[in-house]
């Protein structure tokens, strides 16, 4: 039990600076790609989603100081559980609703055309 009392979730200056620099890069590149249209839309979409996932992890580790030791690992456990729930809610909703959309009864306009 004493382990949870020793944790100091302040982080270090080094962690904050590394996190900030990485975030700047991971934010600037997606904005630059979309605003200039340097690459094909599909490539751009894949890259900016990947960058967002990486940036979320960078923030969680460098700013929120989630690691295997904080609160005896319970913060990491709660984070992983929540990440799974978030993925299920978002991916599941999109998957189901698009399938329902595809299987909808034809509307009057669809019948007429």
- The dihedral of CA 33, 39, 42, 46: what is its sign? negative
List interacting residues with other proteins (CB under 8 A).
1, 4-5, 7-11, 13, 16-17, 19-20, 23-24, 27, 30-31, 34-35, 41, 44-45, 48-49, 51-52, 55-56, 59-60, 63-64, 71, 74-75, 78-79, 81-82, 85-86, 89-90, 92-94, 97
- The dihedral of CA 25, 30, 36, 37: what is its sign? positive
**Min CB(40)–other proteins separation in Å:** 10
Helix or strand run (H / E) with residue 45: helix 41-62
DSSP state letter for 8: -
**Min CB(102)–other proteins separation in Å:** 13
């Amino acid at each position: 039990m004493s382990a949870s009392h020793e944790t100091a979730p302040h982080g270090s200056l080094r962690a904050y600076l590394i996190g900030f620099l990485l975030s700047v890069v991971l934010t600037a590149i997606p904005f630059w790609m979309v605003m200039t249209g340097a690459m094909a839309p599909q490539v751009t979409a894949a890259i900016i989603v990947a960058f967002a996932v990486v940036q979320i992890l960078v923030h969680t580790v460098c700013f929120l100081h989630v690691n295997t030791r904080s609160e005896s690992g319970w913060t990491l456990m709660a984070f992983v559980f929540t990440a799974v729930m978030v993925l299920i809610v978002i991916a599941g909703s999109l998957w189901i609703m698009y399938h329902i959309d595809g299987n909808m009864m034809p509307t009057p306009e669809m019948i007429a055309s």
